[in-house]
Amino acid sequence: MANSVEPTFMNGLSFTLRPVATELFNMHLLKELLEIRQGKVPSSLVQKYTMSQEQWVEVSNVVILTKLSQFTISKELKLDYVEHLQDVLRAVLDMEGATFEEVHQAIQYYQANVLADWYRRLQKHHTYQLR
């Protein structure tokens, strides 16, 4: 499944929010998306798109979930980074403190198979790193 991207969340957006989501996906890093989610929307985007803070959070969450599915899980991925990715996923799903199984079930509920596979690999790598 290398180079796969999770389409579920982007496909679920209203058509009016898809242009901004596409721009965020193509032009912004995960760090920037997390900042947008926290209310730090760049002025260039505020001028270009008229959206409420709730819409910015919704779109950034969707784009983050989509982007995460593209991150490569490799042996070189350090434990701190793995744990950060897990924390980001839990935060975006509003599941801070949830177990792997709870998060995995939530992803499966959305029928986000690419993201579910990515998350299984991330968890497997996390377990391996802890040994």
pTM recorded for the entire structure: 0.93
Assess if residue 60 is contained within a domain: yes
Assess if residue 44 is contained within a domain: yes
Residue 80: CB atoms within 10 Å: 9
Give the pLDDT score at 103: 98
Total structural domains in the chain? 1
Assess if residue 2 is contained within a domain: no
Assess if residue 30 is contained within a domain: yes
Give the pLDDT score at 1: 44
Domain enclosing residue 22, as ranges: 7-130
Assess if residue 119 is contained within a domain: yes
Assess if residue 1 is contained within a domain: no
Assess if residue 61 is contained within a domain: yes
Give the pLDDT score at 96: 95
Grouped pLDDT means (10 residues each) for the chain, 131 residues: 80 96 97 97 96 97 96 92 96 96 96 96 93 85
Half-sphere exposure of 114 (CA within 13 A, CB side): 18
Residues 9, 110: contact at Cβ < 8 Å? yes
